[in-house]
Amino acid sequence: MDDLKQHVDRLEWRVDAHDEQLSALTAQAEGLRSMLDSINRTLMQIKWLVVGGAVVYFAQEMGFSQFIKVIGGI
């Protein structure tokens, strides 16, 4: 009977340890998710900066009225 109690106690200790590990991993995953969201926002800003720069460049190269004709024809 003592042997069974020792096994149960050991299993309870393992479950508690796993619970602590799971809590730590969950917190770490939330931190990573926050960092990935920040990276995603930065990449979106870079993308729109490049798109805006390309629009300005082509508008200057083609002439504004010609550029509007090309864009309107799309």
Q: What is the pLDDT of residues 20-52, one digit of tens each?
A: 999 999 999 999 999 999 999 999 999 999 999
pTM of the model: 0.61
What integer is the mean pLDDT of 8-15? Answer: 91
Q: Which residue has the tokens 């002439």?
A: 63
CB-CB contact of 59 with 67 (8 Å): yes
Burial of 59 (C-beta count, 10 Å sphere; 0-12/13-18/19+): middle
Q: How far is CA 74 from the centre of its chain?
A: 33
Report how far residue 45's alpha carbon sits from residue 19's, in angstroms, rounded to the nearest whole number. 39
pLDDT at 74: 58
The DSSP code for 64 is H
